[in-house]
A and B are shown apart, each in its own frame.
Chain A
Amino acid sequence: MSSKTVERLSPWLVTLACIVVWEIGVRLFDVPAVVLPTASSSFYAVWEFRVALWHNAVPTLIATLLGFGIAVVFGIVLGVFIGISKPVYAALYPLLVAFNSIPKVAVVPILMVWFGIGLTTATITAFILCFFPIVVNVAVALATIEPELRDVLRALGAHERDIVIKVGIPRSLPYLFASLKIAITLAFVGAVIAETVAGGDGIGHLMLVASSNFNMALMIAGLIVIAAMAIGMYAIFAVLDNRFTGWATRGDIQYATAGG
């Protein structure tokens, strides 16, 4: 087995090892099922409750993607403004930091009063949890354009708009994709928090109900479903990232020829 193959298999092997340790550990120490069910019964619960999980996974996914989508648009626009304008940066940055440091769980009850229980509240929670990294990354990418490069372009008579389009935006793509990978996972956190606190449909709510019934296997099954959805979305953005910003890692060409 070549080292390349080992590298490709390693995440699967480590995951599998964790599950095996979990299974053996629970059996070995005779942990009661209400505290922690075995891995096998948790995975069986995913199958057993597949209808309920499916019905609740869909609203969670919708709220997450809506919140994320709004955050991407809003984050890029705000990031561009903050990145290219010092006054806007000075005016908004402290506010953003303050806003970001608020525990989002504490905001959910307020949103509940404003928007009621359901999709809107979950979407907005997902949005407010995940827009910050997008704004910051886009702004940083634009604000850190090399001064020499700026001078080269300005000496050609370039407008600020030319600089943003020719340099700023392409340069910000690796930063943007890095932030999207963080943001999509945060969006799941936001949606699930809102469902857990505010109720309605969704995996978060399902887990809350399972918790009140001491159905630990279902709770773990809920976590497994959320994790699986998050990994799936992350993987989509990782592929897009590699596709559009291979130049940033500079390894694209060797990678392709090595058949990786």
Chain B
Amino acid sequence: MAFIEIDEIDLTYRNSAGDEDDSGTLALQGASVTMERGDFISLVGPSGCGKSTLLKVVAGLIKANKGRVSVAGQIVDRPLKIVGMAFQNATLLPWRSTRENVLLPMEIVEPHRQQFRREKAKYEAMADDLLATVGLDGFGDRAPWQLSGGMQQRAQLCRALVHEPDLLLLDEPFGALDAFTREELWDVLQTLYMKRQCTVMLVTHDLREAVYLADKVYVMSARPGRIILERDIEMERPRTLEHMYRRETVELVQELRHHINIARSDDE
């Protein structure tokens, strides 16, 4: 059995709670994805196609109306406890230092929760190590608002990974950054991925980002979202920006763009 099996799920958003006649907005229809442990996939598609919704369904934050989702052999019917998530907004807590922000999951996830107070020093050292791997060495004591946008995203990645989750869900984590910072962070994420070997689902608007990072890119249709194309990316790791300017990579990105353009025009 695959690590993640998303099988033909439908999902309708109700516009207002409890309204019987309300047919709602159909966000996903027959979406299916299968992933093995340690896979890195990207989800791309026109905006509003339900990419983020699909992530939330996998995390168990929203329930699908139809179809089956299982992670690690378990049917997902409540929020999973093995997930790290990161979003476009860093959502770091301004009253905590960067280090305390990174350690937030440790105060919630078992078994760390029980040990946190007793072994605070050990956890703090762990957070500092993790911050150092993303290039934030010595920034642990700073308040989040003293960090730049790119640095906040680095800290957010640390927060998503500190409890060594089996599954990392990323919803456009680099969407609000400038192009240079974004490309730097692709490399940071790749390094973390190669080190931790966790399973990653990345939602993005940036096709080059999808190709740079993932082993497989899934293209989704316009709403209601389903998978219209799966494309394996066979580039050796570690990948570098130089890979992105090779002809076959450029052609691949063009091909994906073409599919998304078709999906978008179907919508109109």
Interface residues of A (CB under 8 A from B): 146, 148-149, 151-158, 162, 166-167, 170-171, 173, 245, 247-248, 250, 253
Contacts and interface: CB of A to CB of B under 8 A. Distances in A.
A158 B81 CA distance: 8
B91 A156 contact: no
Contacts of A162: 108
* Binding site secondary structure of chain A: helix
Contacts, number: 68
Given A148-B87, A158-B108, A253-B143, 16 more contacts: A152-B85, A154-B59, A155-B59, A155-B61, A155-B80, A155-B85, A156-B84, A156-B163, A157-B110, A170-B95, A173-B95, A247-B94, A247-B143, A247-B145, A248-B94, A248-B95
Contacts of A245: 95
B91 A149 contact: yes
A157 B81 CA distance: 5
B107 interface: yes
Given A151-B85, A155-B85, A155-B169, A146 B107 contact: no
5 contacts: A153-B108, A156-B83, A156-B108, A157-B109, A247-B94
B89 interface: yes
Contact of B91 (A146, A166, A170, A250): A146
A149 B105 CA distance: 12
Interface string B105-138: 1011110000000000000000000000000000
Contact of A166 (B85, B86, B107): B107
B56 interface: yes
B109 A156 contact: yes
B94 A151 contact: no
